[in-house]
Amino acid sequence: MNRREWLGFLCAALFIGVFPWVVVPFKAVSHYVDVMVFAGIFSLVSLGLSMLMGFAGQISMAQAAFFGIGAYTSGILTSRFGWNPVPAMPIGMLASAAVAWLIGIPALRLKGHYLAMATLGFGVIVHIVLGEEVAWTGGPSGMSDIPRLRFGDVRITGEIAWYYIVWVTVFIGLVFCFHILRSRVGRALRAIHEEETAAESMGVPTARYKLQVFVLSAVFAALAGSFYTHYVTCLNPGSFNLMWSIRFVLMVMVGGMQSLWGAIVGTVLLTFVGNEWLQVFADFEIVIYGAILLVVALFLPGGLMSLAGRWTSAGSRTVAAPDDGGS
């Protein structure tokens, strides 16, 4: 990372670090810590999806499925087999990676509309399985009494503890992603996004890189799913349906697909919108989501970060083209 990025990183870390201490004393907003825990969990999903959509140019409408695979693996191992959550989490990530790898090999040969439909179909299948395998998943009514995260004898129950654990993980994930983008792989991904055929003819193993990023995004989603499980301590398939996959895409798009910061900003914003500010609209919520998605796709394809970039002319990262030109 260069100095600019370090500066941005420090500012963000400072903001995240003091946030709870600013909001907790005020009764009306003290529960924002809880909202931010969810925002952090969802940010992990968006980070992975941003790598896939924004940098490799491949769409996935199945992130909720990978989120669900992580969540249910964690939930089943801990509540049915008495595992400690800590070793259960990497198992969930492995399971998700394995599934993503199996699906990804044939799916990533597809492009554009076909890839979107294939991932959409896969996501719906996972959702059906979660609802049908009652013996394992509890079916439509789900599971409850899943243990909280536990390190040794210390059970993590407090919101603030959760807040820091989740957000530190987000920052580690962010640094990890920045490093990938800086590397040879990152340049290759951008080349794939710009013009896949050209990249291939330059000797970039496009299929392998696309698959790796797809698996990476699934691992991030599964990690988030595990956190989610142990934070809310109950699960039902409704949290992993198509609408959630669409929400994850929306989070990435609102912030700006080609910026990892954008993914986090979009996620925090939409989590507040969904968990807090839209509650008053009840049934209108879904219409408002559709409207935001439409407006962003039509008028702001670069997301909020592109607006910031226009104002400061330096806010966007090193990506050349602001539009998402590829297929």
- Residues within the interface to another protein (CB under 8 A): 53, 57, 59, 61, 106-107, 109-114, 116-118, 120-122, 124-125, 128-129, 131-132, 242, 246, 249, 253, 283-287, 289-291, 293-294, 296-298, 301, 323-327
- To another protein, the closest distance from the beta carbon of 191 in angstroms equals 17
- To another protein, the closest distance from the beta carbon of 253 in angstroms equals 7
For helices 242-255 and 260-272, the axis angle rounded to 10 degrees is: 120
Q: Tell me whether residue 276 or residue 323 sits nearer to another protein (CB atom).
A: 323
The structure tokens listed for 213 are 């990023």
Q: Tell me whether residue 16 or residue 56 sits nearer to another protein (CB atom).
A: 56
Q: Tell me whether residue 8 or residue 121 sits nearer to another protein (CB atom).
A: 121
Q: Tell me whether residue 6 or residue 277 sits nearer to another protein (CB atom).
A: 277
Q: Tell me whether residue 6 or residue 284 sits nearer to another protein (CB atom).
A: 284
- To another protein, the closest distance from the beta carbon of 292 in angstroms equals 8
CA distance 258 to 30: 32
- To another protein, the closest distance from the beta carbon of 120 in angstroms equals 6
CB atoms within 10 A of CB 186: 20
Q: Tell me phi and psi for residue 155, to 5 degrees.
A: -90, 135
**How buried is 311 (Cβ within 10 angstroms: 0-12 exposed, 13-18 middle, 19+ buried)?**
exposed
Q: Tell me whether residue 124 or residue 175 sits nearer to another protein (CB atom).
A: 124
Q: Tell me whether residue 34 or residue 285 sits nearer to another protein (CB atom).
A: 285
DSSP 8-state code for residue 225: H
CA distance 61 to 289: 16
The structure tokens listed for 271 are 């989590």
Residue 154, beta-bridge partner list? 151
CA distance 302 to 296: 8
CA distance 20 to 166: 13
- To another protein, the closest distance from the beta carbon of 121 in angstroms equals 4
DSSP 8-state code for residue 282: G
CA distance 156 to 150: 6
Q: Tell me whether residue 49 or residue 223 sits nearer to another protein (CB atom).
A: 49
3-state secondary structure at position 315? coil
Question: Residue 67: which of 241, 192, 184, 194 has the closest Cα?
Answer: 241
Measured at the CA of 303, the angle between CA 299 and CA 306, to 5 degrees, comes to 100
Q: Tell me whether residue 76 or residue 108 sits nearer to another protein (CB atom).
A: 108
- To another protein, the closest distance from the beta carbon of 298 in angstroms equals 6
Distance of CA 78 to the CA centre of its chain: 23
CA distance 174 to 186: 14
- To another protein, the closest distance from the beta carbon of 156 in angstroms equals 36
- To another protein, the closest distance from the beta carbon of 243 in angstroms equals 8
- To another protein, the closest distance from the beta carbon of 291 in angstroms equals 7
CA distance 48 to 63: 9
